[in-house]
Structure 1
């Protein structure tokens, strides 16, 4: 939830429509959580999205908010399973490389923005359109790459400062 509101604060000037951002850093967190925690991560994302919408981000009916919540958890989970089954990544992610991670980000971004836009149109929200799909896809890609880069370089920085090659030692 904190990433969602933080992202809204720092990207408010480039928001395309309500819930449609040109840079959406929480997308990276969604991928990260589902890659690591699989179904539990997806369930946590659904609950967080429901809470965000319950607090009042989207002031819509319960069915609309439930659909948004399910999409927030389902899209990264489907992206994870796409990578595991189609890009030959082991379920424990021990053999994932940067190209496969970018494949996961692309699959997630496409699924998330596509499913969100279909749901927004079906529910009559102003945020639903082909143009908003492009903005949301771009925002999910940019935010995911930014989030993953921050994690990677943060780990590299910590390893360098602690003179360790493995943080688990």
Structure 2
């Protein structure tokens, strides 16, 4: 939740509509959490999203907030399972390549932005449109790639300081 609000503060000038950002860093966290924690991660994301949307950020009716929460939990989970089942990635992610990670990001971004915009349009919310789909898709891709790059750089930095080839020895 805190990262969502931090993203809103940092990227407010890049917001296309309320909740539709050209750079959305929490998208990377959503992917990361579901990659590591699978279903429990998706549940945690859905709960956090429900709290963000029902209590604070949007102040939507419960049905609209619940739909957004389900999308926030399910979209990265579907992206994860799509890659694991179709690209033969092991469940523990030990053979996950950069190409497969990029496919997860693209699958997640398409699912997330598409499902969000369909839900927004179905609920009559201001953000539901083709233009907002493009902005949200680009924001999810950009935010995910930035987040993954920061994680990768941080791991390399720690490995270098420890003088190791791997973090776990």
Do the two structures share a fold, i.e. TM-score over 0.5? yes
> 2:98 corresponds to which residue?
98
The residue correspondences of 1:31-110 to structure 2 (distance < 5 A) are: 31-110=31-110
SS of the counterpart of 2:16? strand
> 2:111 corresponds to which residue?
111
Structure 1 CA distance, aligned partners of 2:42 and 2:148? Answer: 18
SS of the counterpart of 2:166? coil
Q: Is the 8 A contact 2:54 2:61 kept in 1?
A: no
> 2:149 corresponds to which residue?
149
SS of the counterpart of 1:80? helix
Runs of 4+ in 1 over 2 A off after TM superposition: none
Deviations 1:47-75 (A, max 9, x none): 11011113221121100000000000000
SS of the counterpart of 2:91? coil
Which ranges of structure 2 fall in alignment gaps of 5 or more residues? none
Structure 2 CA distance, aligned partners of 1:59 and 1:2? Answer: 17
SS of the counterpart of 1:166? coil
Structure 2 CA distance, aligned partners of 1:52 and 1:163? Answer: 41
Q: TM-score, normalised by structure 1?
A: 0.98
> 2:17 corresponds to which residue?
17
> 1:167 corresponds to which residue?
167
Structure 2 CA distance, aligned partners of 1:153 and 1:63? Answer: 40
TM-fit CA distance, 1:127: 0.4
> 2:137 corresponds to which residue?
137
TM-fit CA distance, 1:139: 0.1
